[in-house]
Every structure is written in C-alpha cells, then in structure tokens.
Amino acid sequence: MTSPYRLLFTDLRSDELIDVLPVHGVALDDFIGKTGRLTGTVPIPNSAIAERARRAILPGRTGVWVERGRDIWWGGIVWTLSLASDARGRLGAQIQAGGWESYLYRRLLYDTQTADDMDQFDIVRQLVDYAADMPGGDIGITYDTTLSGVIRDRTYLRYDLPSVGELIDDLAAIDQGFEWRIASYRDADGRRIKRMQFGSPIIRTGSADIVLDHPGPVLSYTWPTDATRKANAWQTRGASINRNQTAESYPLTSPLLVSTADLDTGWPRLDGFSDYSTVSRQATLDAHAQADHRAALNPVTIPEITVLLGGDITPALIGATVRVRIRDLWHPTALDARFRVVGMSINPPERGRPETARLYLEVP
C-alpha cells in the first residue's frame, strides 16, 4: 500500500532540504501541553537509497517535516535511528522523532536570567531567545508579539541548571497561566514555519464547529472517569528555607487549601500535594498551589474519539472546537456537547483498516 506521506529531511539549524524519502507505517501525534512524536520506517530497497538515507538521517542533527499532499502535517527532530533487517533481508531505517518542543528540553540555562514586571509571554520569548543566541542554538523557532496581560517577576538561577522547556512549563502551570506549543506549517510563500503558539489561558483555533456523530463519522470512543487524581485538600512545597547547612532543613510551604464546598456536597476528604524544589518566593509558590489545587479538585477528563482521516480532520484541528453527538445504550437521550481538541494521533492504514485519527478532547 502506497503511503500518503513523505518525509522531508532537513538540516536542523538551517532548515536546508537534504532529501525527500518515502516512509512506511508512519504514526504521529501532536498535543497541546505535551511533546508530539513521530515513528515510521524508511524502506531501503537498494544501495542508492541506502546512501541517501545515511546522508539525510543523522539523529540529533536532522529535522523532519511530514508532508501529506502539499500540506505540512507535522515537524520535529529525529532523535533515534534503528536499522532493521527482516528474515528476507529487507532493510528499513526505523526512526523516532520528537516535536520541535523537544529541543527546548535539551537546552539548559547556564546563566542566571531575571524578569521584572514582565508579561509572562515575554518571559517565554526571553528564554527562547537565550537558547537561540547561544552558538549553534538557533533552529528557527519563531513567535509573535502578543501579550497575555499577566505580569510576572522571575529569577532563574544558573546553579539549578533547569531546561528551557521545563521553565516554560512551570510558568505556564501557575495560576493565571497559559498554554503553548510549536506549530508546523507552510506560509503563503511556501516556506516551512516553526511557530510558537500561545493561549491565555488556553489555545483556541478555528471559528466553525465540526459536527461528529456516533453512529456515523465517529467510529469508536473512550470516555474515562478517573477520581484517582482528585484532591480537595492541597499543599505545595518549595525550596529549602534553611541556609544553615548544619541545621535541619525545611521546605517553604503554601497554606493548606481545602475546598469546604466539595466536602459539604458529600465528597470524602482527599489529600494531595505538589513539589517545586527551585521555587523560593512565597507568592510564586502560593500561585502554583492555587493552580494545582484547582486542577486536582476537578481532574481534567480527556475523552478519545476515533474518526476517519481526511476532509476537515487534519492536524490544524488542534485547538479547535468540535460538536460531538453520541446516542447509544449509555446515552439514550443522546450526548450533544462541544469539546476542544487538545491532541491528535494518526494511525496509518493497514490491510482491511482505513487511515484513522484519534482525537483527544477537553471536557468544557
């Protein structure tokens, strides 16, 4: 079966095209709040293709763009290559790649960075610029100049050796935080773009709802309900507040947060906590505690629906709203609600099975 995808291998720093190779068994996913992943196998039928693949695929140095038709569906960095031969001697170069975000988790802060009365989006841009300004550190990540309207003070110490990606995640996870991702697409001039997207408090794309019915375009679904992460009492711990190494050390702690409203409705007390070992400011720690407590009080449910790929179902749907209608034994009066798409996983076609996409939904 001919794959509808092509892999464009590029030099990670310059984005100069090295080669375009076919791929079999491609599977990819993309998320808000989680680094996407690509797996696939480049077939090696002859020595000429072997030479091209050896030159094009250098883990850690090669960028990869997934092209479907003329559209860019995914982009990231090849991190692993595994050459495999089957019993018949057929060779394949199995690759695994992480989205562009994965690069920021490989970049550490070697110099103390401070931000005083700065919009939180500008703090992120300052961190990305720091990574890009280092020799060899610019891989072409772009961003716009939008602001969130939320002002922060931050000091990031070089002694902690945090990764840029982790610092962005910590900043995003605080009270009045934001969402971020790096989108891959072609602009109007045909150039390949790696663009940071911000959403305060969430990323939203598109304007018109896509209606998905079951039975109908929705082939199957999974609707979890999970109370294992629920907590209505919460405390957060920070860095040690004892600078005397000869004395016993204690961490900075937030106030104990308890939802009396939850207890009054009949819920048993469920305790939870979080740790931020590099946070030494009480106000920052308290903001983390508020955000974590709110998230734990009503844990996010992520339903999954599987639909046929194509038409309106493309990676551009991430961040958009869909209207899901389900009627079955569990929903005799029919579920009819709108959900935001927060992730997508694409499953390649196999014999007897069409190409499908699994959409991960955020319950409003």
DSSP 237-300: EEEE----TTSPP-EEEPPPEE-HHHHHTTPPP-EEEEE-TT---HHHHHHHHHHHHHHHHSPP
- Backbone angles phi and psi of 277, in degrees to 5: -70, -15
Contact criterion met (CB below 8 Å) for 100 and 31: no
Planar angle of CA 122, 188, 130, nearest 5 degrees: 25
3 state SS of 149 = coil
How do the pLDDT tens digits run along the chain, 364 residues long? Answer: 567 888 999 999 999 999 999 888 899 999 999 999 999 999 999 999 999 999 999 999 999 999 988 899 999 999 999 999 988 889 999 999 999 999 999 999 999 999 999 999 999 999 999 999 999 999 999 999 999 999 999 999 998 899 999 999 999 999 999 999 999 999 999 999 999 999 999 999 987 789 999 999 999 999 998 889 999 999 999 988 766 666 677 899 999 999 999 999 999 999 999 999 889 899 999 999 999 999 999 877 789 999 998 888 999 899 999 999 999 999 989 899 999 999 999 987 777 778 899 999 998 6
Contact criterion met (CB below 8 Å) for 174 and 124: no
- Backbone angles phi and psi of 121, in degrees to 5: -65, -35
Q: Give the H or E element holding residue 50.
A: helix 47-56
- Backbone angles phi and psi of 160, in degrees to 5: -80, -15
Output DSSP code: residue 317. Answer: G
